[in-house]
Structure 1
Amino acid sequence: MSEPRIIQNFIGYRATIATEQPAAVEQLQDMLVKLGMSFAMAALSDGRLQIEPGDKDVLFIDSDLNVAVETGALEPSRCLPVIGIVGVEAPSRLRSLMQLGATATLRKPVHRASVYSALFVGINEFRRRRYLADRLEEQERRRLLRKSLVKAVLIVMRRTGSDHAAAYDHLRRESMRSRQSIEEFCETFIQAHGPELDDAETIAGTSRTYAKKR
């Protein structure tokens, strides 16, 4: 999983602007157009803001609003860059921006000169955070699958009489042949070829052996 490239050109991006003070964001709107972006004013309903974000969406939200942002299954911080428009610098309002995952801010009323910097930092920091979060999730997923690796090694050892190193090498070759990670391959292998192993002490002992060898 390669690190995300830095975005410098925002042509084609779409901005949603959530505020109840349109006059405070007029220069923001002008600058977005100059940068090649489209924008729409958010429709607020019953204290809620609903967005269906795509890959090139960004949300500008006024910290003076008291609204819940709904983006579907994931939290806003995982769906799209959030840039706060700050009026009153009360801790509670700044905290609400943090909880939304804001990665940059603009002072209200917004001035043209600050818009590009906020977009640059806000969008690229969002992409960096999402990359790191995805990596952590992948590592956790593979950690949970490690138990399947241990079970698969024990099954191969039991069936072939080989030692754990040879069993591991066999599984590694098969996983490469099937173009899967070894953990994913072992999960499939257990489901297709072997019973569950319930000997927790044996599994734990083999896990310790692998931890020392890898």
Structure 2
Amino acid sequence: MTKTPNFAGWRAMILSQEDGNTDKLTRQLKLLGLDVTRQWRPLDGAALPDLVLVDADQGWDELLPWRSGRPARPVIALLGSEAPGRIAWAIGQGAGAIIAKPVSAAAIYPALVLSVSIHEERHEAERRIAYLEERLKLRPVVFAALARLKEERGFDDDRAYAALRDCAMRRRMPIEQIAAFFLGGSEPLREVG
């Protein structure tokens, strides 16, 4: 996260039974410009808020509509217990921050910022991993192109790889894509001796 977010207009859902903590939390979130609702039933996956605050002391697995550890929205756990199982549950639900109970107004804004930042970092890491996994799946294509260059042009391993790499760099394309084009016949690699 490059800048501190402005939460004005965000929709927040508090998943908790009503008590003094939720009252204080609601008041403070509204002061920060959030539209706040509270319920104590499972969250509807079709109408997700921008931010979820969940009572980790009493929460259960079906309370949140996503796979464990892969939250679709930033999650903040409300936690009054030091029980390892409750802390583990909050982490398993993807909580990026914790607000200790009894709720202190000063703890809310930092938890919002931290939660959003952690959520963005997780999604960026997932995108990067997916990209790298896709490139990894295409490694056999690169090896096949290298083998073909070695066979057809008499290159050694280093020269074959340098030829693919240089062509990819000149065209500003991933080496896997150039290798696929070469194997498919649409990229003859003419500039390669």
Scaled by the length of structure 1, the TM-score of the pair is 0.71
Which position in structure 2 is the counterpart of 1:20?
Answer: 17
Write out the 4+ residue segments of structure 1 that deviate beyond 4 Å after TM superposition.
176-179
**Quick one: distance in 2 between partners of 1:50 and 1:187?**
43
Would the alpha carbon gap of residues 178 and 78 (structure 1) be closer, same or farther in structure 2, given more than 3 Å must change?
farther
- Structure 1 residue 35 displacement after superposition: 1.4
Would the alpha carbon gap of residues 91 and 146 (structure 1) be closer, same or farther in structure 2, given more than 3 Å must change?
same
**Quick one: distance in 2 between partners of 1:173 and 1:147?**
19
Which position in structure 1 is the counterpart of 2:27?
Answer: 30
* 1:51 pairs with 2:45: yes
1:90 counterpart (75, 83, 86): 83
**Quick one: distance in 2 between partners of 1:193 and 1:8?**
49
What per-residue deviation string (whole Å, max 9, x for no partner) do you get for residues 118-145 of structure 1? 1122221222233334334433333332
**Quick one: distance in 2 between partners of 1:6 and 1:76?**
25
Which position in structure 1 is the counterpart of 2:116?
Answer: 123
- Structure 1 residue 8 displacement after superposition: 3.8
Would the alpha carbon gap of residues 144 and 38 (structure 1) be closer, same or farther in structure 2, given more than 3 Å must change?
same
Would the alpha carbon gap of residues 51 and 43 (structure 1) be closer, same or farther in structure 2, given more than 3 Å must change?
farther
**Quick one: distance in 1 between partners of 2:182 and 2:12?**
47
- Aligned residues: percent identity? 27
**Quick one: distance in 1 between partners of 2:46 and 2:170?**
39
Would the alpha carbon gap of residues 168 and 8 (structure 1) be closer, same or farther in structure 2, given more than 3 Å must change?
same
Structure 2: runs of 5+ lacking an equivalent? 187-193
What per-residue deviation string (whole Å, max 9, x for no partner) do you get for residues 171-191 of structure 1? 23443465431123324544x
Root mean square deviation of aligned Cα? 2.9
Would the alpha carbon gap of residues 144 and 53 (structure 1) be closer, same or farther in structure 2, given more than 3 Å must change?
farther
Is the CA contact (8 Å cut-off) linking 1:53 and 1:79 kept in structure 2? no
**Quick one: distance in 1 between partners of 2:96 and 2:19?**
22
**Quick one: distance in 2 between partners of 1:52 and 1:174?**
46
Structure 1: runs of 5+ lacking an equivalent? 195-214
